């Protein structure tokens, strides 16, 4: 378990990744008086010339607007990553597009702690390893098989039937890297499109007819564990559209989801904020679907909805500080994602009604380019009636053009 680190103006937290998750975590660190550094895998600069702020040809990620401590390089460039880590007191992750063995070498060579730890990360750095880890911990998971040839897909279909889901074992998100296979004719095409012919590791998962999708966020360090309320996630086109907290389900099911998430956290010895996603079937069974070793879209509601947000507890956890309360500030909170409606420059048009809506909280991430379906921001509403505020949140989000 990590030891408490000094918190001062000389403390620097480094983020591997510079998107909105890093930005919202960094906002907490800055509020606490710490510095933040961004390692951007897509950047083209190592320091930002103030005169370049008006240069629209420079495309910055959300975190890069917040700090002058910027480093550019590939996520597989060991030397660049070591140099970055040596400038930081602790390094944390914004995404999973990394290699656990590489993270371990970076930690050893730099002497800087990486949290979540490389050891924890290696237990779930691919969807196959993730399933193996949680299955061994006694947690129900969807039936799965590593796929190395198109012939293995047929064997999986013979055992589990159609449809089933074929996924890239590493790197998929928001519907990318996933294919639902409905028939034998679709198997070969799905295998090829996900890189199976090129040797990319794939995993097949049986399709679970589910009633709801649920999520639990957990923060953990040597001071203890903080479990957030079980929430419901509603997907549209494989992208999370709405989160309702707490989930409108039987309390015993909610408690079981939180228990299983806690077991999963212990199984990987996780330090930081992790999210665990579940399928809930019609007959009340829970299956752990996926996890994330970082703050997660399903926990954005906690910024205004909980005493301590997932982002603050992530910073507290990796710094070895006592964890904050996860109690909700209102009976219900609903988070509605604002998705891109166009491909091109991001220009926002926010209706006047949003600024005058009580308990409505708007977050625009500051991405310079929009893409259809891209997560550009979110709205959170608090209130007493989860269904009512969900309808209101959806209505408000639908009036914003990005």
3-state secondary structure 192-204: HHCCHHHCCCEEE
Asked if pLDDT for residue 97 goes beyond 50, the answer is: yes
| pLDDT score for 53 | 46
Least confident of 87-101, 167-181, 387-401: 167-181
Residue 175 confidence class, pLDDT cut points 50, 70, 90: low
Q: What is the pLDDT of residues 103-158, one digit of tens each?
A: 999 999 999 999 999 999 999 999 999 999 999 999 999 999 999 888 889 999 99
The span from the CA of 95 to the CA of 40, in Å, is 11
Among 63, 35, 31, smallest CA distance to 48 is for 63
- Picking from 62-66, 149-153, 170-174, 317-321, which range would have the lowest pLDDT averaged per residue? 170-174
What is the band of 36 on the pLDDT scale with cuts at 50, 70, 90?
very high
* Percent above pLDDT 70 for the chain: 92
pTM: 0.92
pLDDT higher than threshold 50 for residue 371: yes
Domains of the chain (ranges; CATH) run 12-114 (3.40.50.20), 143-206 (3.30.1490.20), 210-397 (3.30.470.20)
Percent with pLDDT over 90 in the chain = 69
């Amino acid at each position: 378990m990590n030891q408490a680190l000094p918190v001062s103006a000389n403390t620097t937290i480094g983020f591997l990744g510079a998107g909105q998750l890093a930005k919202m975590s960094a906002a907490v660190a800055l509020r606490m008086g710490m510095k933040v550094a961004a390692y951007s895998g897509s950047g083209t600069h190592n320091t930002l010339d103030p005169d370049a702020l008006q240069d629209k040809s420079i495309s910055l990620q959300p975190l890069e607007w917040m700090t002058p401590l910027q480093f550019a390089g590939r996520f597989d460039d060991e030397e660049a990553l070591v140099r970055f880590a040596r400038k930081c007191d602790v390094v944390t992750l914004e995404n999973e597009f990394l290699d656990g063995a590489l993270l371990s070498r970076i930690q050893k060579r730099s002497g800087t702690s990486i949290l979540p730890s490389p050891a924890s990360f290696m237990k779930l750095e691919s969807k196959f390893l993730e399933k193996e880890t949680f299955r061994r911990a006694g947690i129900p998971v969807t039936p799965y098989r590593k796929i190395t040839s198109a012939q293995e897909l047929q064997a999986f279909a013979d055992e589990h039937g159609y449809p089933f889901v074929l996924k890239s074992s590493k790197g998929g998100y928001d519907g990318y890297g996933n294919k639902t296979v409905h028939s034998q004719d679709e198997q070969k095409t799905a295998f090829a499109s996900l890189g199976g012919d090129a040797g990319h590791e794939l995993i097949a998962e049986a399709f679970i007819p589910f009633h709801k999708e649920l999520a639990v966020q957990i923060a953990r360090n040597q001071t203890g564990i903080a479990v957030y309320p079980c929430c419901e996630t509603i997907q549209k086109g494989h992208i999370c559209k709405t989160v309702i907290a707490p989930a409108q389900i039987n309390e015993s099911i909610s408690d079981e989801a939180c228990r299983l998430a806690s077991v999963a956290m212990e199984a990987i010895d996780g330090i930081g904020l992790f999210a665990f996603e579940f399928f809930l079937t019609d007959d009340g069974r829970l299956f752990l679907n996926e996890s994330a070793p970082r703050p997660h879209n399903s926990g954005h509601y906690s910024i205004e909805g909980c005493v301590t947000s997932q982002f603050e507890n992530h910073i507290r956890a990796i710094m070895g500080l006592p964890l904050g309360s996860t109690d909700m500030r209102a009976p219900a909170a609903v988070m509605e994602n604002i998705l891109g409606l166009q491909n091109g420059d991001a220009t926002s048009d926010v209706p006047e009604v949003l600024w005058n809506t009580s308990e409505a909280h708007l977050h625009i991430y500051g991405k310079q380019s929009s893409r259809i379906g891209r997560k550009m921001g979110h709205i959170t509403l608090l209130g007493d009636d989860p269904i009512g505020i969900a309808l209101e949140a959806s209505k408000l989000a639908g009036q914003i053009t990005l």
